[in-house]
Amino acid sequence: MTEQPIPPTTDPGRPPMLGSDDASRSTSGRPAPGDVILELRDVHTYYGKIHALQGIDLDVREGEIVTLIGSNGAGKTTTLKTISGLLHPRMGSVHFAGRDVTRTAAHEMARDGIGHAPEGRRIFSRLTVTENLQMGGYTRSGREVAENIEHVFSIFPRLRERAGQRGGTLSGGEQQMLAIGRAIMTRPKVLLLDEPSLGLSPILIQQIFTIIREINAGGTTILLVEQNALQALEVADRGYVLQTGRVILADSASALAANQDVRRAYLGEI
């Protein structure tokens, strides 16, 4: 089905936002989220002359799962790359854990508490599962790496079974587990997940989203980009709708799931 654009708000730079009561209350039954840990203000990111993000404002609170939804090319992946330091905005600011990290390099962001599982998995196909995980923990000490590998194996028992197997020989679902496992090797404060269900069967999608809930329940804040908007809104506390590089809607996940414009554009309803 062709996605229909959602009419922007009267001021596209300031989409409708949650009230103070909604912002402090989890819609999923989990404890209320804490303080803002991640904040983007008026972020403009470019690819050469292409203006990909056009004044993005968003925030994520400790303990939340927040999702970004929108059509291909809306700016979701660019937003995650801007947060993790793979891209730097030309204008605007990114704050993480109370610090301005707008110009911080990606490896420093990984060291300081941002984990990023990119779209397409991007594992090291010639390295074993264990070696991939070791690469994810390169900023940590040897003892900590070993402890964190055990932590990943406790979340993904299948990876323990495949510990000596090369990444490129794993199934699609196993590769996605490995990509997420590698991203949490630093025990990040915030985990960025880009299309974790891409190319997976319905059964594996359910498994991945169950694991996402478990990771969050263990104390990791999650910012999720997911083309399967219905699945994303079911697991998230709040969400932002992106369209052509702008946030056009922001609300609780339940409110977005009930929004008729969102349902028509992204949830497959006509």
pLDDT in tens, 32-73: 678 999 999 999 999 999 999 999 999 999 999 999 999 889
pLDDT in tens, 141-196: 778 899 999 999 999 999 999 999 999 999 888 998 999 999 999 899 999 999 99
120 pLDDT band (50/70/90 cuts)? confident
Which amino acid appears at position 181 of this protein?
G
Burial 179-193 (b: 16+ CB within 10 A, else e): bbbbbbbbbbbbbbb
Average pLDDT of every residue of the chain: 86
Report how far Cα 99 is from the mean position of its chain's Cα atoms: 20
Task: Identify which of 226, 162, 223 has the alpha carbon closest to the alpha carbon of residue 197.
Answer: 226
- What's the pTM? 0.84
Contact 95, 39 (CB under 8 A): yes
Which long-range contacts (C-beta less than 8 Å, at least 24 apart) are formed by 237-240? 237/26, 237/27, 237/28, 237/30, 237/33, 237/64, 237/65, 237/66, 238/18, 238/23, 238/27, 238/64, 238/66, 238/67, 239/66, 239/67, 239/68, 239/69, 240/15, 240/58, 240/66, 240/67, 240/68, 240/69
| Tokens 């300081």 sit on residue | 112
Burial 56-79 (b: 16+ CB within 10 A, else e): bbbbbbbbbbbbbbbbeebbbbbb
Which helix (H) or strand (E) segment holds residue 206: the answer is: helix 202-217
Domains and CATH numbers, the chain: 57-124+170-266 (3.40.50.300)
- Calpha distance 156→245 (Å, rounded): 35
* Tokens coding 259: 């929004």
Give the mean model confidence (pLDDT) for residues 230-259.
Answer: 95
